A = this chain, B = another copy of it.
């Protein structure tokens, strides 16, 4: 009987890190510090790349879920931090449409989403995106391919009712990528797309 299901499981330490940061999560900077800790620990734990996300209620500021990149842990190339966080949030809240909530959600990410997560964010129903930065630093420093993005990606979000904010603790996020770049044990898991690459 062939395999008919797939799954991803959030490591237990993710919610432990959220709980340990609780007093710091009322501020923009505190949320980004948590994202950077999650991204860096994810590499140390071997689950995936240095990427993390939070789903935060716009009104109350409650963190509904935190997630990390689980490509290596799950063996599935789609399990980027945004897809994981959106999926865990939808599982916890019992709806595939996060836009239907009374207190809408924002997605916080430690850098601009890749081409896939750009669309995943759109379909999730979140009403806002907050990222530490959106420049070429991620690709240049880490070697991860982010894919072809539209130049007007942020405007396309705004046009669909998703607010975009760029630039919270940018230097700290870049520092995580710099330490990743210097790590001799890092795994850059871009798919093999051409013969011999």
Could you list which residues of chain A lie within 8 angstroms of chain B, going by C-beta atoms? 2-10, 12, 14-15, 65, 71-72, 74-78, 83, 86-88, 90-92, 94-100, 114-120, 122-125, 127, 145, 147-148, 150, 152-153, 156, 160-162, 189-195, 197
Specify which chain B residues have a CB less than 8 angstroms from the CB of A148 in the assembled complex: 150, 152-153, 156
Specify which chain B residues have a CB less than 8 angstroms from the CB of A92 in the assembled complex: 2-3
Q: How far is the CB of A15 from chain B (nearest CB, A)?
A: 6
Q: How far is the CB of A41 from chain B (nearest CB, A)?
A: 16
Specify which chain B residues have a CB less than 8 angstroms from the CB of A116 in the assembled complex: 116-120, 122-123
Specify which chain B residues have a CB less than 8 angstroms from the CB of A114 in the assembled complex: 119, 123
Query: What residue in chain B is nearest A11 (Cβ atoms)?
Result: B4
Query: What residue in chain B is nearest A118 (Cβ atoms)?
Result: B115
Q: How far is the CB of A7 from chain B (nearest CB, A)?
A: 3
Distance between Cα atoms of A92 and B122 in the complex (Å):
29
The 4 closest A-B pairs by CB, nearest first: A116-B119, A99-B192, A125-B191, A115-B119
Query: What residue in chain B is nearest A48 (Cβ atoms)?
Result: B96
Query: What residue in chain B is nearest A155 (Cβ atoms)?
Result: B148
Q: A5-B8, A191-B124 are in contact. Are A90 and B119 (CB under 8 A)?
A: no
Contact A191 B122 (CB under 8 A): yes
Specify which chain B residues have a CB less than 8 angstroms from the CB of A125 in the assembled complex: 77, 191-193
Contact B75 A96 (CB under 8 A): yes
